[in-house]
Structure 1
Amino acid sequence: MIELSSEDALRLNVMLANPLQAVRIDESSMTVHALSEQGEASVKLNPRGRDDQYLKKVRELLSSQVLGSPGGYPIFLRRWTRMGQARDNSLEQLLLLGEPEAVVAVVHASGLTDEIARRAWWAMPVADNARRMLERECVVGGSMGSVLAEFLVEFLPFETEHRAMVETVRLVLQPGLIDDELRDKLWRAARRKNSYFIGFMDALPDALPGDGRPRADWQHVAPRVQHLAQAGNPVAAQLCRCLSDRGQLFLETAELVFRKPSNQDVVVELLKSIQNYFATVCPNNDPSADMTTIVSDAEALLDVPAVCPTTTAVQEVVGEVPEHREDVRAMLALSWVGESLVNPIFARTDAIGSLMRKKIEPVMEPVLAQIAQLRGKGG
């Protein structure tokens, strides 16, 4: 049975005798690194036998010192999931085990703090951990927020997963993380990788950095429905929003992405973004409906008597601007779009690129038609 050399055991025990903040193991160089208030320290291992078996012994020593049991890590690990279930009072201990999965448990934990985020980042500085930590307000508003955002922006050109690109852009655009110059640089880069646009749509739906112009009839419509919007009518508010310069830019951006999504993740994230944008006017949710049904139901809703808050809001707007019935229908239809529209298609194919776009035409064309209507280009 492999045992730690007396030299390694001594040096590791001396290291662990000090108050430590985090431990990481570099398996390629067989080195144990430790972080403390005084800085960093390291122990170069002198393995006997196979490296993986030797590292197991090292981790058993760490577990014995931290948890009081050499077998403590795998027992505790079953309770530490990526669903944020790590106990808040154990987070600091988890960072002393030299186990990547323990660090992952920490960054997902509900009790994460800015200080623990700093230690976790030192222990395992990878993009997914940075994204998880930037989901926490305490980290975004703390000292680590800009550090993690800077890393993610620098790493973004090397990211290969489109869903991760969308998430990265959305997260780094949170207030106070990056400056306007870098934000504008990301916006320009979206011309080459349009999945970036979705991150912008999620984070800044009403403040996209591009140039936008209000729809030609904006000045005619707005004064007639703004009083309804101010009174709390969500349909009137959304109509004003869509016809404004910022709304037209959002719709233009959505159309740009929809005309050439690169893979299935981009389609799904785009549909979610559109759904979120129109969420305030969504009357109900039917995951089984296809686009034909959605458009038909939206059309029918225009003539339903004012018997609920949604129908009341619709009738107030249609009564004030009856010539904009089709705009209201388009908004209602877009509020129903979502991942469920493409799930039946994507369940049968893993196509990407032009072949995928061909397969999703039954969804894509009606959605584009609703966007065209709101951009004043409807037939």
Structure 2
Amino acid sequence: MELSAEDALRLNVLLANELEAVRIDESRMVVYALSPEGEASVRLNPQGRDDQYLKKVRELLSSQVLGSPGGYPVFLRRWTRMGQARDDSLEQLLLLGEPEAVVAVVHANGLTDEIARRAWWAMPVADNARRMLEHECVVNGMLGQELAEFLVDYLPFETEHKAMIETIRLVLQPGLISDELREKLWRSAKRKNSYYIGFMDACPDNLPEPSMPRSDWQQVSDTLSSLVESGNAVAEQLCRCLSAQGQTFLATAEAAMAKPTNQDVVVEFLKSIQRYFSSVCPHTDSAADMETIVSDAEALLDVPPVCPTTRAVYDVLQELPGHSADVRAMMALGWVGEPLVNPIFSHTDSIGSVMRKKIVPVTGPIQQQFSQLRGKVNS
């Protein structure tokens, strides 16, 4: 099958101009092109099957752009989605009319605000918007707010909870959405508590509706002020946890953990907790269970100060010997992560209430650490 003479001529005329991006509407059989002067289109007149005809169209585009009719190697999908597309070919990839080539562009490390604008015109879908908002140049560029507004509008139609969490985290970057919209998303989290995880990731120290600080926060802060000033990570994290925003984070974490919908939500929740407490204990045993983690955290309280972590723990407990349970809780929470649930999830694909029952050996001890830091249990 060959292109009709009329289509071949019109496409070659189109490609003779300075183009920024090309997309193909396969349902309507129209080729659209973006140029500095605006948009242009060529309505195709297929001879034979549409899919075979579109293949010929893309071969023409590839021959003109890349010098080869082979087109974009879509079999490299995983590779390009890891950001391995060559930065010097991104503009060319947007002229192929191939969706997977656009995906390669938005995943590329060398994405710029201008190339993002072209890619968004070529393929305005939610996943592309999320990938582009991972780039600081796009967040701070002309396109950032538009992408954020699109994702917020699309959020009610999103079906994957992991994508919801990612969307919330990305649109909450400074300067992308209004305070009113931020509050609306927070209220929506009461119905979809996976949203809370996005808030925990994006603004752990600036969550809406701040709680009261723990009753002993001021006394702890005053006592540990010199250690905090010297950079003691355990002292800093303890003051952080007992502050108003720290208590808000812990309350939000409890709400997120109350009814996780599926396994992806559980994994994202554990990652969020680990990030929040990572400064107090940078090492973890990926094979440990929660019982072992809590036991190891308890044992760490009596270890001689032989490394930066044990020195930080020792110095804090010298100043506040009555807060060993709080320190233990922080250390344990610093060790949580996805490996805790891998042995459970490797044997079940359950979701909802059934899944929540199976992960109680993980969530139960985590809740105990939260309760300790929120002052709900005796030290």
TM bucket, shorter chain: over 0.9
CA change 1:169–1:78 in 2 (3 A) is closer
For 1:120 and 1:174, how far apart are their aligned partners in 2? 21
1:298 equivalent to 2:270? Answer: no
Aligned AA for 1:359?
K
d(CA) in 1 for partners of 2:156, 2:74: 39
The whole-number CA distance in structure 1 between the counterparts of 2:79 and 2:284 is: 34
Give, in whole Å, the separation in 1 of the partners of 2:364 and 2:35.
58
* Compared CA separation, residues 46 and 140, structure 1 to 2 (3 A): same
Question: Shift of residue 79 of structure 1?
Answer: 10
Q: Post-superposition shift, 1:76? A: 9.7
Deviates more, 1:291-300 or 1:315-324: 315-324
* CA displacement at 1:80 relative to structure 2: 6.1
Give yes or no for contact 1:226–1:240 (8 Å, CA) kept in 2: no
For residue 113 of structure 2, what is the amino acid of its counterpart? D
1:212 counterpart letter in structure 2? S
Structure 1: runs of 5+ lacking an equivalent: none
Corresponding position of 1:20: 19
Task: Give the conservation status (yes or no) of the 8 Å contact 1:163–1:265.
Answer: yes
Look up the equivalent residue of 2:125 and give its one-letter code.
Answer: V
Rounded to whole Å, the distance in 2 between the matches of 1:290 and 1:283 is 17
Q: Aligned partners of 1:247 and 1:296: how far apart in 2?
A: 24
* Residue 54 (structure 1) shift: 0.4
Q: CA separation in 1, counterparts of 2:224 and 2:358?
A: 39
Q: 1:320 to 1:195 in 2, by over 3 A?
A: same
Name the residue aligned to 2:243.
244
Q: Provide Cα deviations, 1:287-346, integer angstroms capped at 9, x if missing partner.
A: 000000000000000011111111111011111111111000000000000000001000
Please give the secondary structure, in 2, of the residue aligned with 1:278. helix
Trace 1:102-251 onto structure 2 (pairs within 5 A).
Answer: 102-251=101-250
Aligned counterpart, 1:366: 365
Q: Which runs of 4+ in 1 moved over 2 A?
A: 72-80
C-alpha distance after superposition, 1:113-156 (max 9, x if no partner): 00000000000001111111111111111101111111111111
Relative to structure 1, the CA distance from residue 275 to residue 80 in structure 2 (aligned partners, 3 Å threshold; closer, same or farther) is: closer
Checking the alignment, whether the CA contact within 8 Å between 2:165 and 2:195 is kept in structure 1 is yes
Query: How far does the alpha carbon of each residue in 1:235-271 deviate from its partner, in whole angstroms, 9 at most, with x for none?
Result: 0000000000000000000011111111111111010
Q: Cα offset for 1:217?
A: 1.5
What does residue range 96-107 of structure 1 map to in structure 2 within 5 Å?
96-107=95-106
CA contact (8 A) 2:168 2:195 kept: yes
How far, CA to CA, are the matches of 1:354 and 1:77 in structure 2? 39
Report the AA paired with residue 104 of structure 1.
V
Q: CA deviation at 1:218?
A: 1.3
Deviation at 1:211, TM superposition (A): 2.7
Q: Which amino acid aligns with 1:98?
A: G
**Which structure 2 segments of 5+ residues have no match?**
none
Q: In 2, are the aligned partners of 1:80 and 1:102 still within 8 Å (CA)? A: no
Query: Alignment identity in percent?
Result: 75
Letter in 2 for 1:121: W
Equivalent residues of 1:298, 1:330 under 8 A apart: yes
1:283 Cα shift? 4.6
User: In structure 2, how many angstroms separate the alpha carbons of the residues matched to 1:140 and 1:313?
Assistant: 37
| 8 A Cα contact 1:215 1:375, kept in partner | yes
Letter in 2 for 1:180: D
2:276 alignment partner AA = Y
SS at match of 1:73: coil
2:343 maps to 344
In the alignment, the residues of structure 2 paired with residue 356 and residue 261 of structure 1 have an alpha-carbon distance, to the nearest angstrom, of 9
For 1:72 and 1:194, the matched residues in 2 are separated by 44
Tell me the TM-score normalized by structure 2.
0.98
> Are 1:20 and 1:34, in contact at CA under 8 Å, matched by a contact in 2?
yes
How far apart are the structure 2 equivalents of 1:323 and 1:275? 25
Q: 2:74, 2:101 within 8 Å by CA — same for their partners in 1?
A: no
Question: Structure 2: which amino acid aligns with 1:209?
Answer: P
- The CA distance in 2 between the partners of 1:154 and 1:375, in whole Å, is 36
CA RMSD of aligned residues (A): 1.3
| Aligned partner of residue 121 in structure 2, secondary structure | helix
Aligned partner letter, 1:48? Q
Aligned to 1:280: 279
Contact residue 108 and residue 133 of structure 1 kept, 8 A: yes
1:163-208, Cα deviation, whole Å (9 max, x unpaired) = 1111111011111111111111111111111111101100100000
Give deviations 1:26-57, integer Å, cap 9, x for gaps: 00001000000110011111111100000000
Distance 2:248 2:78 in 1: 46
Scaled by the length of structure 1, the TM-score of the pair is 0.98
Q: How far is the alpha carbon of 1:110 from its aligned partner?
A: 1.1
Q: Secondary structure at the match of 2:80?
A: coil
Partner of 2:309: 310
Q: Could you tell me which amino acid in structure 2 is paired with residue 316 of structure 1?
A: D
Distance 2:138 2:316 in 1: 43
- How many matched pairs? 378
Contact 2:58–2:71 (Cα < 8 Å) also in 1: no
* Counterpart-to-counterpart distance in 2, 1:295 and 1:332: 8
C-alpha contact 1:79 1:86 (8 A) present in aligned 2: no
Q: Secondary structure of 2:72's partner?
A: helix
Instruction: Say whether the 8 Å CA contact 2:106–2:116 is kept in structure 1.
Output: yes
**2:40, 2:376 → 1: CA distance?**
65
| Distance in 1 (alpha carbons) for counterparts of 2:130 and 2:154 | 12
Distance 1:79 1:175, change over 3 A: closer
CA distance in 1, matches of 2:272, 2:10: 53
Check whether the contact 2:262–2:351 (CA below 8 A) recurs between aligned residues: yes
